């Protein structure tokens, strides 16, 4: 289906925190029973998204309710729904987005399923390997809660921690072991090792 049912009706006055794109209030004329009527999208989303989601729901109704589908929905919700508590906590409000492939109106979930596979169990959640990057195939994994907590922004390193980490890196201690010891992500350790963060600490 190539028909676009979205119509821009109002500039909300809000802008994307990273690229300055306009957040538009759009009216959906899909006419399906699942049609929300109104959806809020940034300019780049309006260009390719064809409806408020009613087309996808009509086409993929039998896929709803699975653990993988719920994770996909929550990922989009926390990044692109301003009323979401997670959006305000630091996902969408910080500019974290979902790649176009996974946001595709008709095949977004199928693309997500192809790239990520089924969610193994309720013990696993969708995790970004690098918390500074978006949700995309090469930055996401299914992780146990322990792994995801370690990868969270909540983990704070002190200057003394960083000095010890740098000494361990010089001593050729594997980054995985360092991350586990300091309860942080390997991405944080890699950034220190490459001189991308904490550059002022010797």
Q: Phi and psi for 126 in degrees, rounded to 5?
A: -80, 125
The stretch 135-159 carries a mean pLDDT of 72
Tens digit of each residue's pLDDT (9 = 90 or more) over 22-52 = 888 888 877 665 566 787 878 877 776 777 7
What are the structural domain ranges in the chain? Answer: 1-58, 60-145, 159-193
What per-residue confidence (pLDDT) applies to 61?
58
Label residue 101 by pLDDT band (50, 70, 90).
Answer: very high
Q: Which of 31, 33, 32, 13 is nearest to 23 (CA)?
A: 13
The least confident of 20-34, 44-58, 71-85 is 44-58
Q: Phi and psi for 110 in degrees, rounded to 5?
A: -65, -40
Task: Kindly tell me the number of DSSP H helices and DSSP E strands found in the chain.
Answer: 10, 5
CA distance 178 to 121: 28
Q: What is the pTM of this model?
A: 0.49
pLDDT of residue 102 exceeding 90, the answer is yes
What per-residue confidence (pLDDT) applies to 57?
63
Percent of residues, the chain, with pLDDT higher than 70: 83
The least confident of 51-55, 70-74, 152-156 is 152-156
What per-residue confidence (pLDDT) applies to 31?
61
């Amino acid at each position: 289906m190539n028909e676009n049912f979205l119509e821009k009706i109002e500039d909300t006055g809000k802008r994307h925190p990273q690229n300055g794109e306009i957040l538009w209030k759009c009216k959906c004329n899909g006419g399906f029973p699942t049609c929300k009527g109104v959806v809020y999208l940034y300019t780049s989303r309006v260009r390719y998204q064809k409806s408020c989601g009613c087309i996808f729901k009509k086409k993929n109704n039998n896929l709803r309710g699975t653990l993988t589908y719920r994770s996909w929905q929550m990922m989009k919700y926390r990044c692109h729904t301003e009323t979401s508590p997670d959006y305000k906590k630091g996902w969408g409000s910080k500019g974290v987005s979902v790649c176009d492939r996974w946001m595709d109106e008709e095949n977004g979930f199928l693309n997500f399923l192809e790239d990520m596979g089924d969610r193994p169990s309720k013990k696993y959640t969708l995790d970004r390997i690098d918390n500074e990057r978006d949700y995309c195939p090469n930055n996401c994994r299914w992780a146990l809660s322990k792994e995801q907590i370690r990868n969270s922004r909540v983990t704070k390193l002190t200057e003394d921690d960083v000095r010890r980490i740098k000494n361990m890196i010089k001593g050729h201690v594997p980054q995985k072991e360092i991350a586990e010891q300091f309860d942080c992500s390997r991405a944080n350790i890699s950034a220190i090792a490459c001189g991308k963060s904490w550059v002022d600490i010797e």
